[in-house]
Amino acid sequence: MNDADRIKLITQVGEEILTAEDLAALVSSGEKLIAYDGFEPSGTLHIGQGIMRAININKMITAGCTFKMLVADWHAWANNKYCGDLEKIQKAGNLFIEIWKACGLNTKGVEFVWASDLVKHEDYWKLVMKVAVSNTVNRITRCSQIMGRTEKESLSAAQILYPCMQAADIFYLKANICQLGMDQRKVNVLAREMADKLGYSKPVIVSNHMVMGLGEPPKDVKDPVERTIAMKMSKSNPNSAIFMTDTTEEIKKKISKAYCPAKQVKENPILEYCKYIVFERMDQFGKFEIKRPEKFGGNVSFNTYPELEKAFAKGDIHPMDLKNSTAEYIDQLIAPVREHFEKDKKAKKLLEEVQTFEVTR
């Protein structure tokens, strides 16, 4: 794969890239590409974190990146997940890895790094301290969004430490590409600002799109980045999210009730799932087929997402027909995960145990 193709593939992942010029220079430099993402283990994964995450990571690996996935167990502890029970957090982390294995993530190209291993090293804490002493509390507080918090909330001392750790993670892992969601943008920008002072090259930020929740978008959030975050699929609202362990019946029920106005393309969650998830795995299906009675036009197939979007915008596709077909494809993508937990006794036991844990915000 030549440099242009590698950049093109990475650009497919990034809804925003800071900066495109830095990415081009990094790829052409011949330097080893090390991309990183991290996750707080809590609850279970929804399709944005599961299938879509696997799609994006696989693209980064194909583009020649070594991918490091940080299992942010200490960060989840700092954020009071599972009431700060580290053992439960770590079991949830292992569950996430099991789900990714089952949904098509190229795990051979991913190095899972546990934060609980990083914190054993003095050099790691030196980096954390360097970030901390170089920033004001107000500057760090503005990054609270990365924890699912707001600046107006009363943050614990541990939650103030969290962004310092996350910025330090980037440098300690020697990552030159931060490949996380748009909700992690602020701390990635902090790392770019800190890079020169700490003696590192500025990491390239490749922020992926965050799929919407199934509900109607908020009317009172105008800022584009804030609006994206407000609309994202969230574990805290189970009815607005499709989880990687949902049953066929749960998937159909949730999608049938989803926000999907006729002819509306913008901010339509069902079309988002088609664009960012179903059509990204179209090699598995061959084509996207909508099944309907002859009196309503009969079955119709689409080879590309733009074709589907155009037909829906014209009113040629009824929202309920789109919902029914999308639910079928999403269910087929999740089916291997359900089968994995049915057949693997150890994985099944882990899932059942984590499901008994009370999730805290």
Count of structural domains, the chain: 2
47 and 121 in a single domain? The answer is: yes
56 and 148 in a single domain? The answer is: yes
Full pLDDT tens readout for the chain, 361 residues: 899 999 999 999 999 999 999 999 999 999 999 999 999 999 889 999 999 999 999 999 999 999 999 999 999 999 889 999 999 999 999 999 999 999 999 989 999 999 999 999 999 999 999 999 998 888 888 877 665 655 556 778 888 889 999 999 999 999 999 999 988 999 999 999 999 999 999 999 999 999 999 999 888 888 887 788 788 887 777 788 999 999 999 999 999 999 999 999 999 999 999 999 999 999 888 899 999 888 888 999 999 999 999 999 999 999 999 999 999 999 999 999 999 999 999 999 999 999 998 877 6
* Domain assignment of residue 150, yes or no: yes
Q: Is the peptide bond prior to 19 cis by the omega test (within 30 degrees of 0)? A: yes
* Domain assignment of residue 110, yes or no: yes
176 and 259 in a single domain? The answer is: no
141 and 24 in a single domain? The answer is: yes
* Domain assignment of residue 128, yes or no: yes
How many helices, marked H, and strands, marked E, lie in the chain? 17, 8
Backbone φ and ψ for 55, nearest 5 degrees, come out as -60, -45
Domain of residue 265, CATH code: 1.10.240.10
238 and 195 in a single domain? The answer is: no
338 and 245 in a single domain? The answer is: yes
119 and 170 in a single domain? The answer is: yes
Measured from the Cβ of residue 133, the count of other Cβ atoms closer than 10 Å reads 8
Q: Look up tokens 């052409």; give the residue.
A: 28
Alpha-carbon gap, residue 121 to 132, rounded angstroms: 17
| Closest-CA residue to 92 (of 110, 111, 114, 108) | 114
Query: What's the DSSP call for residue 46?
Result: B
- Domain residues for the domain of 274 are 224-355
